[in-house]
């Protein structure tokens, strides 16, 4: 059977929007606690840079727009250190760093937290597997 799928036109995520309840509180959290680079504000919105992805915080327009957000997983180099640094900055976690998947070559570690609007966020680290002691 021939592959009839179109050529990929989507190459990467450009922006992610998160609904927030209070823009000032959310802006302070993402800027001052998580340390994301603040770009600019527009009426009802604040924009941040995270690697190559732009994050938009927005007050929902109308009752139909209020919905739970997707979970954003922020990649970190050292999840244990990031967890400690963010706790020191006043971030409250709902789950400490833990391994969620292990292969012979790597481990996927995550830690979960919530922002002031109760959106669930996560830190993630891919690390080489620890050799087992035989």
Q: Are 117 and 21 in contact (CB under 8 A)?
A: yes
pTM of the model: 0.74
Given a cut of 80, is residue 133 above it in pLDDT?
A: no
Partner residues linked to 40 by β-bridges: 47
How far is Cα 68 from Cα 13, in angstroms, rounded to an integer? 19
pLDDT in tens, 54-72: 999 999 876 655 566 678 9
* Residues 48, 41 contacting (CB under 8 angstroms): no
> What domains can you pick out in the chain, each with its CATH number?
15-60+68-128 (3.10.180.10)
- Which helix (H) or strand (E) covers residue 20, if one does? none
Q: How far apart are CA 86 and CA 72, in angstroms?
A: 16
Question: What is the average pLDDT value for the chain, to the nearest integer?
Answer: 87
CA–CA gap between residue 131 and residue 105 (Å, rounded): 9
Q: Please tell me the predicted confidence (pLDDT) of residue 63.
A: 63
Average pLDDT rounded to a whole number, residues 88-106 = 92
């Amino acid at each position: 059977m021939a592959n009839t799928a179109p050529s990929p036109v989507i190459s990467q995520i450009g922006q992610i929007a998160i609904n927030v309840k209070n823009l000032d509180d959310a802006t302070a959290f993402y800027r001052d606690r998580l340390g994301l680079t603040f770009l600019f504000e527009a009426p009802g919105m604040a924009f941040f840079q995270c690697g190559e992805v732009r994050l938009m915080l927005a007050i929902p327009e109308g009752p139909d727009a209020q919905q739970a957000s997707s979970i954003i997983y922020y990649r970190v180099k050292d999840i244990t250190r990031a967890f400690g640094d963010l706790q020191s900055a006043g971030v409250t976690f709902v789950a400490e760093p833990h391994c969620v998947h292990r292969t012979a070559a790597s481990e996927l570690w995550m830690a979960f937290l919530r922002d002031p609007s109760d959106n669930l966020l996560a830190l993630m680290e891919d690390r080489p597997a620890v050799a087992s002691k035989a």
